[in-house]
Chain A
Amino acid sequence: MAVYNSQHPYMFLRSSKPRMLGVALGLLLMVPAALGADWGAPARALAEKIAAVTGPGAVAMEVTNRSSLKPAQVEQARGALVSEMGALGVQVVESGQAATVRVTFSENAQSYLWIAQVRQGTGDEKALMVAVPGAPPGGSFGPSSPLSIHRTLLWSQDAPILDATLLPGGNPEHLLVLDPGKVTLFSGQGGQWRQEQAFPIAHTRPWPRDLRGRIVFNREHLFDVYLPGVVCEAVLSSPLSMACHEADDPWPLGAGPSSVRAFFSPARNFFTGVVAPGIGKQNTFPPFYSAAGLPRNGYELWVLTAVDGSVHLVDGINDVVTKVPWGSDIAALKSGCGSGWQILASAKSGEGDSLRAYEMLDREPAPVGAATDFNGPVTALWSKNDGTAVVVGQNPDTGKYEAYSLDIGCHQ
């Protein structure tokens, strides 16, 4: 039977030692070849083909690497092959034997390809091959910036992640991940996130391109989900469920459900500019992609990134328009250092995007600390109610979407 199935996601658990765990799990899950465990099957398959040609006995073997395998991996693969050949009675010895086996570790766009060219005496050379699916997808995002922004990998999957949220409190920890088709609830068990439930999102119209959505924690019924033209809310039943309906309800702009809300265009990727209940006396702005609120003495300063590329600083009375080299996505982060809150803004950085923290001094953004680079695009950035933020990036090497929790370290 030949059956098409989608790939399973792999996962990471938030940890107090995020980078170490992330690197360790990354090595474990993304480069399984490095551990040698996965070479058994292809080594056995190629050894069987070689043995079928040579029969038991001694052969001379040389190995060439024409793939992206690292030398250590090549050595492991070679060792696995020699071992499997030995089990079939084919002993690899020094040259000078009647049979020679030239092994080439190669690869194509879809898989590794192990090739054995077998020659016995003066006979014709036979070419034997084994395709080894699952070539390593390459590295993850680069190492975290040594500066002020800290990130912790929450979850990674093939489907686009629109938002992810750690539910406050609770033991074990719970994580919600929003993608275009569902909300998935995970619980932290045994060092990994394990799926507890998945709540499909019902909608009748196709989603707009560059789909955006967010999860907002709700003290009464756990969480709400906002998508273009669709609102969902958790239903505290047993088991937990979720109800969705088509609605243009305004989305919360800030971290909590009671903050300023704005209407999102149901067929586009931006907020329409209409805000409810309003920021002070102001309730209409140009269409914008993203907004972040910074608590100030007696008021809240809102920063909006408009579709036309301008940045609006809104305090309830004034709307100051400025040009800042920011991207479309911003979020507010509570750090406790400096003025207590910073703006996190995306920007282009080489082939990928970056995030940088800014203080709003005299209503002018001033960068604090260096940018944290991602080697792919940042696709979502949302403030969270615990003062952190969640960023989603796409890893260009694997194509997977990776959600990170962000916080700012004051000591840097």
Chain B
Amino acid sequence: MRLIVWTLVVISSVLALACGGAAEVRPRYGGTLRIMLRQAPASLDPARLNASEEARIFSLIFEGLTGYDARGRLQAQLATRWQADSSFQRWQVWLRAGVKFQDGTPLTADAAAASLRAANPAWMVNTDGESVVIQTTAPDPELPAELALPRNGIVRHTGNKTVGTGAFLVSNWQPGRSLVLSANDDYWGGRPFLDSVAVTLGQSWRQQMVALELGKADVVEVAPDQARRAGLSGRTVVESASNELLALVFTREAQSEEEARVRQALAESIDRSSIVSVLLQGQGEASETILPNWMTGYAVLFGPTADRPANVQLPAAATMTLSYDGSDPANQLMAERIALNARDAGIRLQTIGSTSSADVRLLRITLASPQPQLALVSVAEAAGLPAPRFEGTSPEELYTREKKMLHSGRIIPLAHVPEATVLAPAVNGWRADLFGGYRLADVWLGSTP
């Protein structure tokens, strides 16, 4: 296995292995899997997706023409193949035969084109036999990867219902509160083993862990700083690659050379290693890059992650405000640690536990795609920075665009953190996903040891 840090980890204690180490059995059909999530989407339309985390649920219902396998490799999903012209502005995508929407309607090129047209007004989408032809106004070498984005899930609107082609269909939906999914018996990839999935939305990390302890949930999210503890206490913890960026984001451009120097001093003052090792309990990697090294391989070009003394001459009494999302206690600790480091460098950071306006914000940004170009764009969008435009797929261009974003002085990366999920003992067939996705079609419920 490679040395890169994205290696998927399944932590299970000796106790868990002892209990669950009985003979391997074939998957069993049936049962309801109970999931809890922090996110609370108000809509089930992929085009109105709010956060990358919501993609976990959307991907159960909707599928794109392309998708990613568990190792983050782009693969055909509702498409079978695709081809671009030499300018990368015209793409032809051939559809998989025999696919039906969850209401029984066959997936046709017309239906796929209509769905993509609605999600991407800038694209010109037509059909050619059983294929979809997409024309873009500028070269788009990463279009196949874009088709895998959750917002490009193929949907069919019937009245006030939105149906997809995924392994599960919606049987009960309480916006922002709960979602019940049923197995799609006619799913082209084979009916899921589970009969249904019950999702409770808007649950804090603490509420989720309590529910797991009481046997009221089978799959819960766990805070990064609690993941190790959960593993040590005998839980099965599944981690994604480090696909969440912790960063400081300035709300505007530096207004002067002096302000730019202060930002540089702040970036150099932060003890990233301590944030990861102490506050995040070792979950994640300290980083001075926007994209994690497992995604690019070139983090070495940005220099080692080291704690450097501030060597920038500062104006007297440099003062800034730092806001963070106070609903997560870990954010407060991190903000206070950053303020402490900044003070040592001669910068006064006033922390604010809300998302109200401030000079700089502490953000957790989930990368939207395993594809680095799209991931960089997603960070720019989430941080309110100008989105980079790519003309090709070379690593040099990616490096140049990322370097430009960093040199803008608007963003200071701190760390990359994995997403962690805790499973009840009865959950079988869970496949660790590079990007933290839930691949529930293969999950099945066994007897609790």
A residues at B contact (CB < 8 Å): 1-5, 64, 66-68, 104, 106-113, 115, 117, 127-131, 135, 138, 205-211, 267-270, 289, 307, 309, 324-329, 345-348, 353, 377-378, 397, 399
B23 pairs with A113, CB closer than 8 A: no
Majority-rule SS of A interface residues: loop
CB distance from A324 to the nearest CB of B (A): 8
A347 vs B298: C-alpha distance when bound (angstroms): 42
Report yes or no: B4 in contact with A327, Cβ–Cβ below 8 A: no
The majority secondary structure among interface residues of chain B is: loop
Pairwise interchain contact A5-B395, C-beta atoms closer than 8 A: no
Do B27 and A108 touch across chains, with their CB atoms under 8 A apart?
Answer: no
User: Contact flags (1/0) for B41-75 with A, using CB distance below 8 Å?
Assistant: 00000000000000000000000000001011100
Given contacts A1-B83, A206-B187, contact A307 B399 (CB under 8 A): no
- The answer to whether B26 and A129 touch across the interface, beta carbons within 8 angstroms, is no
Chain B residues with Cβ below 8 Å from A110 are 72-73
Say which residue of A3, A113, A378 sits within 8 Å of B298 (CB atoms): A113
Stretch in contact with the other chain, from B109-117, B198-206, B288-296:
B288-296
User: In the docked arrangement, what's the CA distance between A2 and B142, Å?
Assistant: 10
| Contact of B24 with A347 in the complex, beta carbons under 8 Å | yes
Q: How far is the CA of A108 from the CA of B21 in the complex (A)?
A: 33
- Residue contact B394 to A109, C-beta cutoff 8 Å: no
Docked Cα-Cα span, A270 to B29, in Å, equals 10
Complex Cα distance, B66 from A4, in Å, reads 11
With CB as the reference atom, state the residue of chain B lying closest to A107: B297
Given contacts A109-B72, A289-B26, contact A206 B6 (CB under 8 A): no
- A-B contacts, 16 of them at CB < 8 A, read A2-B84, A2-B88, A3-B83, A106-B298, A108-B297, A110-B73, A115-B297, A127-B396, A128-B396, A129-B399, A130-B395, A131-B394, A327-B24, A328-B24, A328-B26, A348-B23
Which single residue of chain B is at the shortest CB-CB distance from A208?
A: B190
- Is the CB–CB distance between A108 and B25 below 8 Å? no
CB of B441 closer than 8 Å to a CB of A: yes
Q: A1-B84, A109-B294, A377-B24 are in contact. Are A397 and B1 (CB under 8 A)?
A: yes
**Cβ-defined contact, A307 with B190, below 8 A:** no
Contact across chains for A104 and B300 when beta carbons are under 8 A apart = yes
**The residue from B27, B188, B297, B395 contacting A206, defined by CB atoms under 8 A apart:** B188
Q: Which residue of chain A lies nearest to B21 when distances are taken between CB atoms in the complex? A: A348
Q: Given A2-B88, A109-B294, A378 and B24 touching (CB < 8 A)?
A: yes
Q: Are A209 and B84 in contact (CB under 8 A)?
A: no
Residues on A with C-beta less than 8 A from B241 are 109
Whether the Cβ atoms of A209 and B190 lie closer than 8 Å is yes
**CB < 8 Å neighbour of B22 from A113, A289, A348, A378:** A348
**B1–A208 contact, CB under 8 A?**
no
Give bound CA distance, A5 to B94, whole Å: 12
A68 touching B23, Cβ below 8 Å = no
Q: For chain B residues 58-114, which have a beta carbon within 8 Å of chain A?
A: 69, 71-73, 76, 81-86, 88, 98
* Residue of chain A at shortest CB distance from B185: A267
Neighbouring A residues of B442 by C-beta, 8 Å? 209
Question: Is B301's CB within 8 Å of the partner chain A?
Answer: yes
A-binding residues in B (CB < 8 A):
1-4, 6, 21-29, 69, 71-73, 76, 81-86, 88, 98, 141, 144, 185-193, 241, 293-298, 300-301, 370, 372, 394-396, 399, 434, 441-442, 447
- Name A268's contact: one of B24, B29, B83, B85 (CB within 8 Å): B29
B288 → chain A closest CB, angstroms = 15
Q: Do B300 and A209 touch (CB < 8 A)?
A: no
A3 — nearest CB in chain B belongs to which residue?
B83
Q: State the Cβ distance, B444 to closest chain A Cβ, in Å.
A: 9
CA distance A209 to B167 in the complex (A): 11
Contact A206 B2, beta carbon cutoff 8 Å: no
Specify which chain B residues have a CB less than 8 angstroms from the CB of A131 in the assembled complex.
394-395
Contact status B190-A129, CB under 8 Å:
no
B370: chain A residues within 8 A (beta carbon) = 109
Cβ 8 A contact of A327, one of B23, B86, B190: B23
The residue of chain A having its C-beta at the shortest distance from the C-beta of B167 within the complex is A209
Residues in chain A near residue B447, CB distance under 8 A:
309
Shortest B173–chain A CB gap in Å is 25
B24 with A106: CB separation less than 8 A: no
Apart from A108-B295, A307-B28: 13 A-B pairs, beta carbons within 8 A: A1-B83, A2-B83, A4-B82, A67-B297, A107-B3, A108-B4, A108-B293, A108-B294, A206-B188, A208-B190, A210-B26, A347-B24, A378-B24
Distance in angstroms between the alpha carbons of A109 and B6 in the assembled complex: 8
| Least CB distance, A190 to chain B, in whole angstroms | 32
Task: State the CA gap A345–B27 with chains docked (Å).
Answer: 16
Q: Which chain A residues border B141 with CB–CB below 8 Å?
A: 2
B194 to chain A, nearest CB (A): 10
Closest 7 A/B residue pairs (Cβ): A113-B297, A108-B297, A328-B26, A209-B190, A129-B395, A68-B2, A327-B24
From known contacts A3-B83, A206-B98, infer whether A109 and B3 are also in contact, taking CB-CB under 8 Å. no
Q: Which A residues lie within 8 Å of B84 (CB)?
A: 1-2
Check B396 against A209 for contact (C-beta < 8 Å). Answer: no
A206 engages B301 (CB within 8 Å): no
How far is B192's CA from A112's CA once the two chains are assembled, in angstroms? 36
Chain B residue contacts of A128, Cβ below 8 A: 396
In chain B, what residue has the closest Cβ to A349? B24
A1 touches B297 (CB 8 A): no
**Contact of B2 (CB < 8 Å), options: A107, A268, A348:** A107
Residues of A within 8 A of B298 (CB): 106, 113, 115, 127, 129
Q: Are A115 and B28 in contact (CB under 8 A)?
A: no
Residues in B with CB closer than 8 Å to A64 are 300
Please name all residues of chain A whose beta carbon is closer than 8 Å to the beta carbon of B69 when the two chains form the complex: 399
Nearest CB on A from B113, distance (A) = 19
Taken together as a complex, chains A and B put the C-alpha atoms of A353 and B6 apart, in Å, by 24
B24 touches A3 (CB 8 A): no
Q: In the complex, A268 Cα to B28 Cα: how many Å?
A: 9
Q: How far is the CA of A110 from the CA of B25 in the complex (A)?
A: 32
- Tell me whether B24 and A206 are in contact (CB under 8 A): no
Contact between B193 and A210 (Cβ–Cβ < 8 Å)?
yes
Partner of B3, one of A2, A68, A113, A307: A68
What chain A residues lie within 8 Å of B72 (beta carbons)? 109-110
Taking a contact as CB atoms under 8 Å apart, the answer to whether B24 and A4 are in contact is no
B2 and A209 within 8 A (CB): no
Q: Which of B27, B86, B192, B434 contacts A269 (CB 8 A)?
A: B27
B399 touches A127 (CB 8 A): yes
From residue B404, how far is it (CB to closest CB) to chain A in Å?
13
Q: Which residue of chain A has its CB nearest to the CB of B141?
A: A2
- Of B23, B76, B301, which contacts A4 at CB under 8 A? B76
With A4-B144, A68-B3, A325-B23 given, is the CB distance from A109 to B295 under 8 Å? Answer: yes
Q: How far is the CB of A177 from chain B (nearest CB, A)?
A: 20
Which chain B residues lie closer than 8 Å to A135 at the CB level? 2
Q: How far does the alpha carbon of A345 sit from the alpha carbon of B192 in the complex, in Å?
A: 26
Give chain B residues whose Cβ lies under 8 Å from the Cβ of A2: 82-84, 88, 141, 144
State the Cβ distance, A116 to closest chain B Cβ, in Å: 11
Chain A: which residue is nearest B99 at the CB level? A206
In the bound complex, do residue A207 and residue B23 qualify as a contact, i.e. CB atoms below 8 Å apart?
A: no
Task: Decide: A106 near B1, CB < 8 A? Known: A208-B190, A327-B25, A346-B23.
Answer: no
Write the nearest CB–CB distance from A53 to chain B, whole angstroms: 12
